[in-house]
Amino acid sequence: MPYHHRKFLALTLPLALPFALTACGGASDASPAERSSRTADAKATGGSGAAGAVPGAKDSATPGGPAPTRSAGRSTPTADRPLAGRTVVVDPGHNPGNFRHSTEINKKVDIGTKRKECDTTGTSTNAGYTEAAFTLDVSHRLRALLEKQGAKVALVHDADRPYGPCVDERARIGNDAKADAVVSVHADGSAAGNRGFHVILPARVKDGAADTSAIMAPSRTLGEKLVTHFSRATGNKPANYIGSGTGLDVRDDLGGLNLSTVPKVFLECGNMRDGKDAALLTDASWRQKAAQGIADGIGAYLKG
């Protein structure tokens, strides 16, 4: 969502959507996600079954996976559990219920450099598949893959709260977990013809409660690993409209990055407003590849 507060202003959602986008800030979802967010996915978890379909999606099954573990101490990595002892926080962009709580998500919170909306509803494909449905689905798949490698994984939210959390709380959750890595999963809402993925890195910020000086370098390394492995797993190229072909973008206006004290990046997996990208984002098999690419990138970063 490189256009957090710009991309949604230009969006015109289909009448089929049960909401109109409010102030923007990243990927989001609507009520269809609530019907699909808890469904198991056979590829990711070994389960089966599918919940109600999400408009515009070819397959809306979302693997649930076990609850985040909370074991004390650090486990010892083994060949089949190379991420044992490591903590990863996955931040699914937006919340399926945000569109019902415009007053709450439009309240501004301090992000260090300025005050910004608590959260946003996010974008959607032209057919109505919402960003929040996408981010929650990929996050479930990612959690299952990381836990299989022994990592302790926590989701910032699991559609288990009415809205949010706000961007400042999203950062705080990763900080309190003392996460080794945090990835915020999103999809962009740029113009048609703009294709590809990109990773957003924290800029140097030292203002008020924000100080990114300690996380800039490790966050960049994490971002670079994600670019390599996401492209390899999905076959997709870095964005043709931002990052000059590097797949990397640096920003100082995102509270989730500004307020983080642990390595954190945002990943825009594709552009929901482009027909070709949308065809991928709504394909369950591609979403599994996306989750695999993210897991591989995080693993490569944590293994050094």
Spatial contact of 98 and 124, defined as CB atoms under 8 Å apart: no
Question: Can you tell me whether residue 86 is helix, strand or coil?
Answer: coil
Per the prediction, the chain carries an average pLDDT of 83
Q: Encode pLDDT of 53-95 as tens digits.
A: 334 444 444 444 444 444 445 689 999 999 999 999 999 999 9
Distance CA 213, CA 270 (A): 29
Name the nearest CA neighbour of 197 among 183, 211, 210.
183
Distance CA 264, CA 220 (A): 9
Domains and CATH numbers, the chain: 31-65+83-303 (3.40.630.40)
pLDDT of residue 73: 53
What is the maximum span of the chain, computed from C-alpha positions, in angstroms?
52
Name the nearest CA neighbour of 54 among 287, 295, 290, 292.
287
Q: What is the pTM of this model?
A: 0.79
Provide the token pair at 101.
Answer: 């709580």
Distance CA 189, CA 172 (A): 26
- Residues marked active site are found at 268
Distance CA 72, CA 104 (A): 36
Residue 19 scores a pLDDT above 90: no
pLDDT of residue 75: 81
Q: Encode pLDDT of 113-156 as tens digits.
A: 999 999 999 999 999 999 999 999 999 999 999 999 999 999 99
Q: Encode pLDDT of 190-208 as tens digits.
A: 999 999 999 999 999 999 9
